[in-house]
Amino acid sequence: MTVAALLPALLDPPAGRPALAFPDGALTYPELAARAGAVAREIAGLDRVAVWATPTLPTVVGIVAALLAGVPAVPVNPRSGPRELAHVVADAAPGAVLADPTVDLPAALAEVRRIPVPREPDRPGGPALRNVDSDLPGTAPALVIYTSGTTGPPKGAVLSRAAIATNLDALADAWDWSDADVLAHALPLFHVHGLVLGVLGPLRRGGAVRHLGAFSAPALAATVDAGATLVFGVPTHYHRLADELATDPAAAALVGRARLLVSGSAALTAVDHARLQRLTGLAVRERYGLTETLILTAARADEPVEPGTVGRPLAGVELRLVAEDAGDDLGAVEVRSPGMFSGYLNRTDPPATPDGWFPTGDIGRWTASGALALVGRRATDLIKSGGFKIGAGEIENALLEHPTVREAAVVGVPDDDLGERVIAFVVAAGAADGAALADHVASLLSPHKRPREVRFVDALPRNDMGKVVKARLPR
């Protein structure tokens, strides 16, 4: 599969057309093309570049530069712990790191050539941008996004240019997403949700994105008032939005002027769905996907919302439910899609079965209308907290490195705000202190992986084979 051009509006930038607005500044298409084009010329020919992915303009300029140069970009969580960052740098082996010149980069990046992404106004003109897609196959890697597995350090999912282009076009079809749309969100820029959907989505359409910096109801209301038509967020954003709008009817009315509110990355509760509908008049549309597959299903703009479902498969996506027992209407979700990743960087495990099916690890059922309802996940070792996927094994390994920990089991428990929160069960070796153990984890890994609670137990429940049975842990 080939891609005509991943970001056509940057090759022929419409004069004066807004592209990006962040709390730290705004760029039109010609300004973005000039600035990213200058960086693209500096990095041309590199195998891969890291982008220090703060939620700021230089991050988008860096990512766009890499895509214009045909150099795969690795967005890096700027709050990565030293353990994760060292792994990502060693695994991705970037030829350069693109970063806002004002930030201090940590020691793990000291050996990597740093290319500052200019913050000052663009240098106008410059040679016209070449369309690298005319030379590259669609399978050429565009992004490497690190995502947690059940055990071990995060793995880099390689996403091709064709996967991104076809997935964004399928979403445009589902949501009537056009260059007239202005997207508002406050998502991080190192995951598929905020970066692929939230930045490349509008840029591929030739529309605009306004990043709020930090999410708040007043900021969102003002942005919708200023013309934003689409809102993307994780359920934690929508939970907090419902809380805030409950005491701010003026903001609720403004938010209600948006065309679509879209939630993803984790399940939106029925309570928050109903609260937001009552407050804004809008039914939040859910969509479902994974870093490895991009987006698979979505509630369409031109159809009524069926609360509790994540919509129907997008154009080109095949989705099947594999039931354990015949006649069971619940099944393991497996997919085959043009948005599928190409594999994990430096790993030989095949990305899918020989006939192309990828097991998502989610369990679902079809509703009468053909929409998918997700009912849970297979692995208790994967936790979704605030929309971030967290592997229990990575935290258990960090805990086990502490001298006061003999055994550890990490699970997610329900949380009104985060969906799930991380808690650790620990069999102590000597005098252990829960707060110190949580700090120990946060000193190695990203702060969102810090256990919110450490419970000490005499022994972990184990089966006859000696394997820990997390379902039997006291919740």
Q: Which residues make up the interface to ligand AMP (CB under 6 A)?
A: 147, 192, 264-267, 286, 288-291, 310, 360-362, 374, 377, 384, 389
Q: How far is CA 7 from CA 64, 168, 192, 449, in A?
A: 9, 11, 17, 34
Query: Is 70:47 a contact under the CB 8 Å cutoff?
Result: no
The interface region with ligand MCA, picked from 278-286, 354-362, 383-391, 401-409 by CB under 6 A, is: 383-391
Instruction: Please give the single-letter amino acid code of residue 301.
Output: A
Binding positions for ligand MCA, 429-448, rule CB under 6 A: 442, 447-448
Q: How far, rounded to the nearest angstrom, does the alpha carbon of residue 55 sit from its chain's CA centroid?
A: 13
Stretch that binds ligand MCA, among 91-99, 103-111, 247-255, 283-291 (CB under 6 A): 283-291
Counting residues that bind ligand MCA (by CB under 6 A) gives 24
User: Which residues 384-403 are close enough to bind ligand MCA by CB under 6 A?
Assistant: 385-388
Q: Which does 385 bind (CB under 5 to 8 A by kind): ligand MCA, ligand AMP, none?
A: ligand MCA
Q: How far is the CB of 118 from ligand MCA (least distance, A)?
A: 27
Nearer to ligand MCA, 46 or 442 (CB): 442
Q: CA quadruple 396, 402, 408, 411: dihedral positive or negative?
A: negative
Q: In this complex, which beta carbon is closest to ligand MCA, that of residue 18 or of residue 156? A: 156
CA-angle at 37, arms to 177 and 130, nearest 5°: 80
Residues with Cβ within 8 Å of residue 247, at least 6 apart in sequence:
none
Q: Could you say whether residue 156 binds ligand MCA (CB under 6 A)?
A: no
| φ/ψ (deg, to 5) at 425 | -100, 130
Out of 140, 290, 317, 426, point to the residue binding ligand MCA (CB under 6 A): 290
Residue nearest to ligand MCA (CB): 386
286 binds, among ligand MCA, ligand AMP, none (CB under 5 to 8 A by kind): ligand AMP
Which span (156-164, 286-294, 359-367, 396-404) binds ligand MCA, by CB under 6 A? 286-294
Tell me the DSSP string of 240-278: HHHHHHTT-HHHHHHHTTSSEEEE-SSPPPHHHHHHHHH
Q: Is 157 in the site for ligand MCA (CB under 6 A)?
A: no
Contacts for 436 with CB less than 8 Å, ≥ 6 apart: 404
Question: In Å, how far are 177, 178, 225, 229, 430 from 259, measured between CA atoms?
Answer: 10, 12, 12, 5, 58
412 binds ligand MCA (CB under 6 A): no
- Min CB(325)–ligand MCA separation in Å: 29
Give the integer Cα–Cα distance in Å for 67 and 200: 10
Of 43, 136, 234, 254, the one binding ligand MCA by CB under 6 A: 234
CB of 115 to ligand AMP, least distance (A): 28
Do strands 419-428 and 141-147 pair parallel, antiparallel, or not at all (unpaired)?
unpaired
Out of ligand MCA, ligand AMP, none, what residue 362 binds, judged by CB under 5 to 8 A for its kind, is ligand AMP
